[in-house]
Structure 1
Amino acid sequence: MNPKLPVFLSLSGSSFNQGLMWMGLSMASFIAMSVGSRELAATLSIRQVLFFRALVGLFVILAVGRSVFPEIPAMRRVPLHLLRNIVHFTAQYFWTVGVVLLPLASVFALEFTMPMWVTLFAWILLGERISRARLLATVGGFIGVLVIVRPGVGMIDPAAGLVLIAAAGYGLSLIMVKRLTRQCSPGAIVVWMILIQLPLGLIAAMTDWRPVQAGDMPWMMLAGIGALSAHFCQAQALKRLEASVVIPIDFLRVPMAAVVGYYAYGEAIDLWVFLGGGIILLSNLQAVLAERHGRLTGALPAEPLVEKADRR
């Protein structure tokens, strides 16, 4: 790749177009998962929603993912798998609460604070130095959150706080995934996720079980398949596109969610959400571009987070 060319020009046409396709599928899958989860929560408890999402994921893995099963008996890094999935499961619970109680666009905009939490946890847990670009991105992300929730204008919806906690949980989970990838394939990490989160979901669901109707089945399929498809398609896009391209494209989830929320649920389109989300987006984007420039000029290591994670 020629470092003198802009990001978009340095990508082959085929790879770039494929990446755009995978990102489009990823964004559609995330929104489908959100809609399926919200519809399920109308008749079932949120704990049941998480259980059935994992149950559908199990059937999908059994159908198309059996090639990674030989890795499972090796039992590599099981304690870390367990800790990662407890954190991720808790984050999913808070995120689903947000999906049910907040406009969809607000949920996705607040979720974009995850890189801010990744930076914080990398500093705390991995001892990684925070670059000036990442520090500015963290400050920008915090300002974006303030614009979205607007404290002082009215009572802040507690659900917004839960989504921020979920974003922090996803950030911590990502740090642990980076450590797991040293010894485990992505497919094995997904299988462990299903195997651990399915019983967690069942135990949680049994504390608030409600009758399941035949009409719930399509929404279960939409939420469960959407969840697996979203992460798979995103990973495929990241193979073909740089993060500096993926981040602004992925932000299109916010207006897409706003349109779906407007037509499906009559949610008002809040310009403050777009303004705050835009601040978060630009903050993350400038950090990625600054780090990319630093790697190309030799001022930064190629993957500091992964390297530090692997040494621990």
Structure 2
Amino acid sequence: MTDAASNVDDTPDSRPILGITFLLIASTVFPLQDVIIKSFSGEYAVHQIVFIRGVIALPLVALLAQFDGGIFPLKLGSIWLQLLRASAAFSSYIVYYMALAAIGLAETAAITFSTPIFVTIFAMFFLGEKIGAFRWFAVMVGLAGVLVIVQPGSGVFEPAAVLALGAAISYGTSIIVTRKIGKTANGGSMTLFTIVVFIAYGAILGLVFSNIENVSPHPSLAFLYRGWIWPESGHWIYFLALGLISAIGFYCLSQAYRVAEASVVTPFEYTYLPWSILWGYVFFASLPSMSTWIGLTLIVGAGLLIVFREAVRGRKLVRRRGLGIMRQR
């Protein structure tokens, strides 16, 4: 759970191989988190998982942040913008895993990787950025890819796919707010603030939805409305793993975007997708359909077009901060 972008300084030093290595480690461990949470989606509530993971991850992330330059003094900038950013990230997290309860790892991840497309659109409206014909073409290609996977109006339409799309839109909002905050905040402070918000919101949702009867058999809604239970003794190791994965992912993403240009390392975030496909097959005997393969290709192609185009144009925002997708995982 971090926004590595905010950790990037403006120094010219760049070590691309090291940055790519850190990014590849992060993109390897995060899909394992998806496997654990999807496996738990039939037993625990999504907000309980968020709460427990946050409690476990908090001291680990604090330790890494202290080791990596210190936590104090806290530098958050606008508290209201920080709260908006954390709320958008939390919404993205919740609906992403609600979608994962009903559809495959690859389908959920593929739709969510449309985030750069929505960031591009939002940047035009909220940051005043101009979008040229090339980026509009990339946006249209990416949105076409989303439609191919979601298939609205067809007989195979799965409502949970809309949740994955909502995750991409919510996370795009979080990235836009992060850009708005700019250099008034630092990465360690923002990450700790985000985790605290996740813990608080998880507890609030637990109080609200655990007392509401759910009559829907849909896995996504059951994941939301299910009451909290004390975890089985054998499951604690997996909850500890969730916190550890979060801490390792935070550290590796922070380092990746600290030591190398974002335009160099961001494309390697898409290695998340092959791992999702592999683990989906290994653990759930699920492989993407042909429409998912086509949509995934269009979405990845569009995202890479946006990143490479902005890097070629020399936009500092993308070269140093990128359009990363995994930073709130």
Select which of 317, 322, 328 maps to 1:303.
Answer: 317
Q: TM-score, normalised by structure 1?
A: 0.84
Q: Would you say 1:194 and 2:186 are equivalent positions?
A: no
Q: Write the distance in 2 (CA, Å) between the matches of 1:122 and 1:305.
A: 16
Q: Write the distance in 1 (CA, Å) between the matches of 2:246 and 2:142.
A: 25
Match of 1:118 in 2: 119
Q: Write the distance in 2 (CA, Å) between the matches of 1:276 and 1:243.
A: 25
Select which of 254, 267, 280 maps to 1:235.
Answer: 254
1:179 touches 1:306 (CA, 8 Å); kept in 2? no
How does 1:3-152 map onto structure 2 within 5 Å?
15-66=15-66, 68-72=70-74, 76-151=77-152
2:267 touches 2:307 (CA, 8 Å); kept in 1? no
Distance of aligned partners of 1:306 and 1:20 in 2 relative to their CA distance in 1, 3 Å threshold:
closer
Percentage identity across paired residues of the two chains? 25
2:20 touches 2:256 (CA, 8 Å); kept in 1? yes
Distance of aligned partners of 1:274 and 1:23 in 2 relative to their CA distance in 1, 3 Å threshold:
farther
Q: Would you say 1:283 and 2:298 are equivalent positions?
A: no
Q: Write the distance in 2 (CA, Å) between the matches of 1:102 and 1:242.
A: 34
Distance of aligned partners of 1:116 and 1:140 in 2 relative to their CA distance in 1, 3 Å threshold:
same
AA at the equivalent of 1:303 = L
- Deviation, 1:24, is 1.8
| Range moving further from structure 2, 16-25 or 46-55 | 16-25
Q: Write the distance in 2 (CA, Å) between the matches of 1:193 and 1:48.
A: 17
- Deviation, 1:158, is 0.8
Q: Write the distance in 2 (CA, Å) between the matches of 1:243 and 1:75.
A: 22
Distance of aligned partners of 1:146 and 1:177 in 2 relative to their CA distance in 1, 3 Å threshold:
same
Match of 2:217 in 1: none
Q: Write the distance in 2 (CA, Å) between the matches of 1:283 and 1:163.
A: 18
Decide which structure has greater helix share: 1
2:119 touches 2:176 (CA, 8 Å); kept in 1? yes
AA at the equivalent of 1:135 = W
Deviations, residues 178-229 of structure 1 (Å, cap 9, x unaligned): 2334111111110111122211111112332223221221221222222343
Match of 2:274 in 1: 255
- Deviation, 1:244, is 4.5
How does 1:170-249 map onto structure 2 within 5 Å?
170-207=171-208, 208=210, 209-249=228-268
* Structure 1, gaps ≥5 residues long: 1-11, 296-300, 308-312
Structure 2 residue matching 1:101: 3-state secondary structure? coil
Q: Write the distance in 2 (CA, Å) between the matches of 1:86 and 1:217.
A: 27
Number of matched residues?
289
1:254 touches 1:274 (CA, 8 Å); kept in 2? no
- Deviation, 1:243, is 4.3
AA at the equivalent of 1:226 = I
Match of 1:4 in 2: none
1:40 touches 1:219 (CA, 8 Å); kept in 2? no
| Range moving further from structure 2, 190-199 or 219-228 | 219-228
Distance of aligned partners of 1:271 and 1:254 in 2 relative to their CA distance in 1, 3 Å threshold:
farther
Match of 1:5 in 2: none
Structure 2 residue matching 1:71: 3-state secondary structure? coil
AA at the equivalent of 1:139 = M
- Deviation, 1:284, is 1.9
Q: Write the distance in 2 (CA, Å) between the matches of 1:169 and 1:109.
A: 15
* Structure 2, gaps ≥5 residues long: 1-12, 211-227, 322-329
Distance of aligned partners of 1:60 and 1:290 in 2 relative to their CA distance in 1, 3 Å threshold:
same
Match of 2:223 in 1: none
Q: Write the distance in 1 (CA, Å) between the matches of 2:307 and 2:126.
A: 21
Structure 1 residue matching 2:73: 3-state secondary structure? helix
